[in-house]
A = this chain, B = another copy of it.
Amino acid sequence: MKIKYFDHAATTKLNEDVLKEMLPYLTEEYGNPSSIYSLGRSNKKAIEDAREKVAKVFNADAKEIYFTGSGSESDNTAIKGVAYANRKKGNHIITTKIEHPAVLDTCKSLEKDGFEVTYLNVDSEGLVDLEELKNAITDKTILITIMFANNEIGTIQPIEEIGKIAKQHKIYFHTDAVQAVGNIDIDVNKLNIDLLSLSAHKFYGPKGVGALYVRKTVRFNKFIDGGHQERNKRAGTENVAGIVGLSKAIEMAYEKLDENNRHLKELRDLYISEIEEKIPYVKLNGHREKRLPGNANISFKFIEGESLLLNLDIKGICASSGSACTSGSLDPSHVLLAIGLIHEVAHGSLRVTFGIENTKEDVIELITELEEIVNRLREMSPLYEDFVDGTYTM
């Protein structure tokens, strides 16, 4: 069965050209970048060239790019690194309620160690309130960490305004841009971003490699102690193939950014409008315009997300849900609850994230399958029965 993949926010397929660039570093170019002989030096050079490529995308300097083992490691490094290096200045951090666990749980860890964290609310479309942000700032605030775009509902935050506020108050500004990179044009200087996390596998690069941009002026601690790699900021023999792959993937993503965005938005808008037209009792989650080009998150009322996913899987369709059953916790997605969804509507959410290889035909097929599955699941839903009977409303 041919797989129809609509879960590009979870991960993407490694681009063939990217793999081609990686392969020498998985075969003949096997030296350790720290070695001084030519087999080592060529690997070192590959890493430095990769750093240049990544820096260029963000209008940054190569010395401001650090490679890591994942987006999560980048988030941990950024937040813990700034927190512990600037503890003398203050112990207060501001973030939001809808961050990825790599940010949220890092903040919670810091709370256990004497830091204070403000978790900003978001409105029903997932946007932070800039006034609330300003009011949260104290003279102990050392870091604002707010994600660029949300991984579940796709909402894009007013990053430029947040950057301005951070700069005015001389507070470091970190953004988890794992979902934004490859989809949105990002100039760290124009946007006043001091630290930025990214993960290669979200933009057709390999899994297990990330990067962190850190402005030259930012003081931050080393997270993984040991050798002098990454200008003494991240120990461990470098994943050279992964780093080369990351840089090629990001370069390709930004070469075709506009073209790809146009394509993704077309698929997304087609999907949303068709679903809203064809299936009753649905709700679009996230902001209608300020959202990632490939993201469509819709709740199908009266049904539960996991069973929806399993039925799609039977048809070879890959998508994702904010249902508790797929989140590994007791509650449905903290993001969906933060935008004010009641639990049962959150349980019925379906996140569809399009990628460059998806076609209009794919989307139409998806819609057709969904109509049928949603109908069937509603037919077997006691909530829907009660709703039809008039004894239940949501």
Contacts and interface: CB of A to CB of B under 8 A. Distances in A.
B37 A27 contact: no
A121 B105 CA distance: 39
B37 A102 contact: no
Interface in A1-24: 3, 5, 7, 10-14, 16, 19, 22
A228 interface: yes
A239 B31 CA distance: 21
A29 to B, nearest CB: 9
Contacts of A310: 36-37
A36 B306 contact: yes
Contact of A11 (B7, B72, B207, B237): B237
A208 B208 CA distance: 8
Per assembly, the copies of the chain total 2
Contacts of A238: 207-208
Contact of A71 (B10, B30, B236): B236
A138 interface: no
A144 B235 CA distance: 22
A309 interface: yes
A196 interface: no
B11 A75 contact: no
Contact of A10 (B3, B34, B106, B108): B34
A241 interface: yes
A69 interface: yes
A320 B7 CA distance: 46
Contact of A318 (B5, B35, B101, B208): B35
B105 A225 contact: yes
Contacts of A236: 69-73, 102, 208, 210
6 contacts: A10-B34, A35-B320, A36-B306, A36-B313, A69-B239, A105-B225
